[in-house]
Amino acid sequence: MTSCLSVVRLARRMIERVVLGRRFGAHVELDRTTFVARSAALRVVQGGSIRIAGACDILDGCMILTYGGDIRIGSRCNIQPYCVIYGNGGVELGEGVLVGPHVAIVANNHTVDDPASFILEQPMSCRGVVIGDDVWIGAGARILDGVTVGRGAVVAAGAVVTRSVPERAIVAGVPARIIRHRGGVAPAPESGGIAGRGCSADR
């Protein structure tokens, strides 16, 4: 009886992989406990891959596009409707990340150093974005290339984050600035950052 159940479970997993593979492609890996709305788009563009852990919700109208980078989303993340994630330089979301509606996480940036050339002809910067565990990103916020958001931080609605955010910090504004820390005490600073990655191609 146990062996029969094991065979049935294995068959179900194989069918699920085939169905997901047809819907999203070979380089998109989803845990079977994760929900993806039918109107959400998970696409591998110009290489890269997408991996989403268990118990996540990817809701209506979300666009998660690799553009040559790898996108990793940890378990128990909730991504609200109409969010956009561009993975050019790599995007990593930790566990239990809350992403409000209409958030944009963009892991690339245009360079504008040469005024004699069209911006679209100039090289792109792709340093990547890392979001730690237990982060809340409010509606309409923008997380830009090269940013790390520390564990337990809060990004207020509408904020534009251009610099890394320490653990447990609450940031707001354009550009985003620290307004206070959760618990009232700033944690000790840690060294480290995001290693630069090259862009595979412009989008």
Domains parsed from the chain with CATH numbers: 28-184 (2.160.10.10)
The pLDDT tens digits of the residues spanning 37-70 come to 999 999 999 999 999 999 999 999 999 999 999 9
pTM equals 0.83
Give the mean model confidence (pLDDT) for residues 153-164. 98
Both tokens of 111, joined, read: 């360079």
The pLDDT value recorded for residue 12 is: 54
Mean pLDDT of all residues in the chain?
87
- Per cent of the chain over pLDDT 70 is 80
DSSP E strand boundaries for 20-165:
28-30, 35-36, 41-43, 49-52, 57-58, 63-65, 70-73, 78-79, 84-86, 91-93, 98-99, 104-106, 109-110, 124-125, 129-131, 136-137, 142-143, 148-149, 154-155, 160-161
d(CA 3, CA 197) in angstroms, rounded, equals 47
Burial class (CB in 10 A: 0-12, 13-18, 19+), 181: middle
More confident residue, 91 or 2: 91
Q: Confidence class of residue 14 from pLDDT cuts 50, 70 and 90?
A: low
Tell me whether strands 136-137 and 154-155 are parallel, antiparallel or unpaired: parallel
The pLDDT value recorded for residue 154 is: 98
The pLDDT value recorded for residue 192 is: 43
Report the range of poorest mean pLDDT among 73-82, 115-124, 178-187: 178-187
d(CA 56, CA 32) in angstroms, rounded, equals 10
Residue-by-residue DSSP string for 68-99 = TSEEEE-TT-EE-TT-EEE-TT-EEE-TT-EE
d(CA 132, CA 112) in angstroms, rounded, equals 30
- Active-site residues, by number, are 110
